[in-house]
A and B are shown apart, each in its own frame.
Chain A
C-alpha cells in the first residue's frame, strides 16, 4: 500500500514543483469523412476531424501534457496518429505507427494518446496508417517556448502549411501504385499544391514588424521550393532545432520537413508581395498536361492594392540546409559505437509490382506490433531475429552512438525521417556520388545541423549520428508516402531491456483493446509465437523474388523447343533426301 501510494504521489509532487508552467492540453478528435475542395477544382471525400477540414492545429507549450482522444468514425478504414518530430521519451507507445507501437484504431473504436512535450518547435501530426494522411488527416503541431533564444527577434508568428493534393483517394491510388501494371513504380503525381490547405492565401502584414513564419511541408510526396518575393528569410529553426539565424532567399522543403524563418516587413505599404510554393517536378515520373506545380499566396500590406502575379524564376537555387548550425552548438559525435548501413534500391518482386528495399529487404509490418514483441519477450528482446524477416530491424544498445549510413542506389530524391530522435547530419553527398566511403569522406562539420527529416540526393548518400538515449521502437523511413507503402522502412529497436523497465505492464488498456478489436496478438515474436521465439512460421512476408533467369520451368521449355526444332529439321531432311520420281529434263 505504501509503495503504491508513493508511486501515485510522485507525479503529483512533480506537477506541483514545476508549478504554473505545466498544463494539460486535451483534444477530442472524432476522425471521419467530410467533403473538401481546397483547390476549387474537384470536390472529394476528405478525412476531417469533428466534421471539419482543414483539421485543427495542436498547440501547446513546452512542458505541457498533451492528451488526444481519438474516435475513429471513418467506418471503412482503421487509423492512427503520429506526432511527427516529438521524441516521445518514455512514451514510445504514444508514437503512433500501427504494427510498430500500437494496433490500428479500428472503425468505431477509440484510443487515447497521452504524453508530455519537453521540446519546443514546429512539428505536425498525421495518420501513420497505410497511405492515409494525404487524404486529409494531417495538421500542424506547434510547441511554444517561453525561453526561445529568438523570442525577442519577432513580433508575431504565422503558421504556413505546404502540401501537395490529390483528387483521387489514396486507397485507389495505392492499388494502382503497387501493381503489376506499374512495374517501374511510378508514383502518382499530385493534382495541385496547397498552402494552409487552400490556394491564393492572403497574409496581412503590418509594415515594420518582424514575423516568425513556421512552415511545414505536410505533403505526401512533393518537396516544395519556397520563396517570398523581395523578402529575405532568416532561418532560425529546422525540425524543432534552433539554428543560428541564417539568411536564405529560397528554401527546399521536403515532405515532412519544417523551417521557421523570420521575415521583416518593409516599412511602407506601397505594394503587396507574392510568395510561392513550387513542387519539385524532378520527383514526378511523367508530368501531366495542365499541372500547375505552384501555389501562390500574398503578403498583403494594403488590401486596396493589387496582388501581383509571381515572377518567373530563372532557376531553382535553394539554400543548402547542411550548412546550418544549431544554437546549442552540440558537437559532432566523434566516436561511433554502432553503424547501421542501409542500401536503398527499388526492384520488382514476383507479383510484378515495384517495391523499395533496404539491404534487399522490403518492409512488411509484423503480426505483433514490434513494441509489444519487445515488451513480451524478456531477455530475448535483444535478439533481432524475433522481430521478423521483413522488418529491417536493428537492435541498438543503451546510450550507444549510432551512425546511419544511407546509400541511395536509386535515381530519385528521398526525404528520410527518424522517429524518436533528431540526428546530426555529419555528411551528405552530392547526387551521383555513389556509396559512402568513410576513408574518403570530407571532414565532418564541428557542430553539425540536426533535424529529423533529411533529403538524400539521387544516387548519393547521407550519414546521420545520434545517441541511443531514448528507449523505444523507432521507425526510420522515407517520408514519401508511396515509398512507405512500398516498404522503404527500417525498425530501430532502441535499448529493449531499458524499454521493458519503462513500459512492461504499463501499456494502457485502451491500447490493448485496440488489438483485441482488430484481432491482433499483443505478445510473442513477429509471427505471434510466444513459445519458440525463433519460430517465425506464419509471419507476414513480402512476395518472393523474381525468378532468376532460367528456372526448371525455363530449362524444360528451352530443351523442348530445341528438341522440337531438331526433330522438325530431321523430318525435313528426311523428306528432302528421299528419291523423287524424277522427271528431270
Chain B
C-alpha cells in the first residue's frame, strides 16, 4: 500500500487544501454578507467570478510548478538522492515531521483560521484603501481586481507550500505513490472545507478534525522517528557496505549495538511484507528499532504534549507561563495574539473593508 498511497502526502494535501478552502469560504461568505441579496446581484456575481477565477489560476500555476519540480527530481535529481539515499530520506523526514507538527495544530482551531483570514482580507482591503492615495494605474487595477488577486495569491502560496512539503516528505517514495494520495487529500480538504462553509464549526466536525489531527501527529511522530532511524541506517550501511544490503530483514541488516528490538520479518522495506509499510508510514513502525528511533519517538510526543499544554495555558490566561500577564502579552506580535483581537476590533475591520468593497466600481 505505501507503494501506491503515500500517507504523509495525503495529509499535507488535505491540510493545505483545507486551508485554501477556508480562505475561499471566508471570501465567499464575506461577499455574501456584504453584498447581500439587497445589493447589486450583477456586481456580486462578477466578484464571485473573480474569486473563482483567482482560485483556478492559482491552482493551475501550482500544478505547473509541481509538475516541473517532480519532473526535474525524477530525471536529474534522482541520482544525487540515490547516492546518499538514507541521509536525504532522514533529513526530509525530520523536516517534514517538524513542519507537520508546527502547522497541524491549526486544524483544531479552524475558526481561528477563519478569523485569521478574515482579518487578513480586511487588512488587505485597508491597505488598498490607503495606497489609493499614491495612485498609479497598477494600484487602481489591483484594487479593482482585489477579489481576484486575494484568492489567487493565497492559493498560490498554499499550493507552493504544499508542493515543497510534499517534495520533502516524498523523497524516496516511488512516483506512483503520489497521485492517489494527492487526489484523496485534495478531495478530503475540499469536502471538509465545504462542510465548514455550510455547517460552521459543528461538534461532529470538531470531532472529525480532532481525529484527523491525532492521525497527523501520529504520522509526524513516526516520521520523526524514521528520520533518526534513516540517519542511523546511513551510518550502518556505510560501515557494513554490501553485507547490510544483502541481509534483507535478517541478521546483519541492522547494527546490533544500537538495537532495541529486531524481528526478522515485518520490515517496511521488504516489498513482500505489504502491510508493514503502512504501519511505517502511519506510526513509524520499524522491525528493527534502535535506541535512536525509540527515544526520538518518545521525545517527540513529550515535546508535542508540552506544546499543547502550553498553548492551552496561553489560550486560557492570555499569556505564556513564566511571562508577565496581559500588558506584555499584548506586545508579542505573534499570530496567536492577533487572532485574539476582540470582537469589536474585528467588527471595525469588517466595517471598513465592506464599505471599501462597495465602492469598487462596476
Contacts and interface: CB of A to CB of B under 8 A. Distances in A.
A561 B308 contact: no
Contact of A547 (B241, B262, B301, B304): B262
Given A565-B218, A575-B312, A181 B239 contact: yes
A585 to B, nearest CB: 7
Given A549-B261, A577-B206, A582-B111, A183 B243 contact: yes
Interface string A102-135: 0000000000000000000000000000000000
A181 B264 CA distance: 19
Given A575-B308, A583-B115, A183 B261 contact: no
Contact of A575 (B247, B294, B311, B340): B311
Interface stretch (B84-92, B145-153, B209-217): B209-217
A283 to B, nearest CB: 15
A558 B261 CA distance: 9
B210 A547 contact: no
Contacts of A546: 251, 256, 262
Contact of A569 (B33, B109, B217, B239): B217
A564 B289 CA distance: 16
A550 interface: yes
A568 B303 CA distance: 9
A580 interface: yes
B298 A553 contact: no
A583 B309 CA distance: 22
Contact of B252 (A184, A553, A580, A583): A184
Interface stretch (A350-358, A390-398, A499-507): A350-358
A568 B217 contact: yes
Interface in A449-496: none
B229 interface: no
Contact of A557 (B112, B256, B289): B289
A582 B315 CA distance: 12
Given A184-B242, A575-B311, A554 B261 contact: yes
Contacts of A285: 242
B12 to A, nearest CB: 18
A567 interface: yes
B140 to A, nearest CB: 30
Nearest to B115: A583
Interface in B303-346: 304-305, 308-309, 311-312, 315, 340, 343, 346
A362 B218 CA distance: 44
Contacts of A351: 256
Contact of B298 (A180, A184, A560): A560
Interface residues of A, number: 46
Nearest to A554: B261
A183 B247 contact: yes
Contacts of B217: 568-569, 572
Interface string B251-290: 1110111011111100000000000000000010000010
B312 A578 contact: yes
A352 B115 contact: no
B30 to A, nearest CB: 9
B213 A572 contact: yes
Nearest to A569: B214
B243, B257, B302, most chain A CB atoms within 10 A: B243
A581 B342 CA distance: 10
A182 B243 contact: yes
A311 interface: no
Contacts of A350: 256
A569 B261 contact: no
A577 B206 CA distance: 7
Contacts of A4: none
B165 interface: no
A186 interface: yes
A347, A554, A572, most chain B CB atoms within 10 A: A572
A267 interface: no
Given A547-B262, A585-B29, A180 B239 contact: yes
Q: Chain B: interface secondary structure?
A: helix
A184, A549, A555, A573, most chain B CB atoms within 10 A: A184
A336 interface: no
A182 B239 CA distance: 8
Contact of B261 (A184, A550, A581): A550
B201 interface: yes
B132 interface: no
Contacts of B315: 578, 580-581
Interface in B83-112: 105, 108-109, 111-112
A563 to B, nearest CB: 9
Contact of B242 (A180, A186, A354, A564): A186
B244 interface: yes
B118 interface: yes
Interface in A254-273: none
A551 interface: yes
A286 interface: yes
A584 interface: yes
Interface string B209-244: 110011001100100000000000000000111111
Interface in B108-152: 108-109, 111-112, 114-115, 118
Nearest to B312: A575
B246 interface: yes
Contacts of B5: none
B28 to A, nearest CB: 12
B263 A575 contact: no
A352 B112 contact: no
B312 A568 contact: no
B71 interface: no
B262 A571 contact: no
A323 B334 CA distance: 88
B297 interface: yes
Interface of B: 26, 29, 33, 105, 108-109, 111-112, 114-115, 118, 200-201, 206, 209-210, 213-214, 217-218, 221, 239-244, 246-247, 251-253, 255-257, 259-264, 283, 289, 294, 297-298, 301-302, 304-305, 308-309, 311-312, 315, 340, 343, 346
Closest 5 CB pairs of A and B: A183-B252, A554-B261, A184-B243, A348-B251, A564-B301
27 contacts: A180-B257, A183-B253, A352-B252, A352-B256, A549-B263, A549-B264, A550-B261, A554-B260, A554-B262, A554-B289, A560-B294, A564-B297, A564-B298, A564-B301, A568-B301, A569-B217, A572-B108, A572-B214, A572-B308, A575-B105, A576-B108, A576-B213, A577-B210, A580-B112, A583-B111, A584-B114, A584-B201
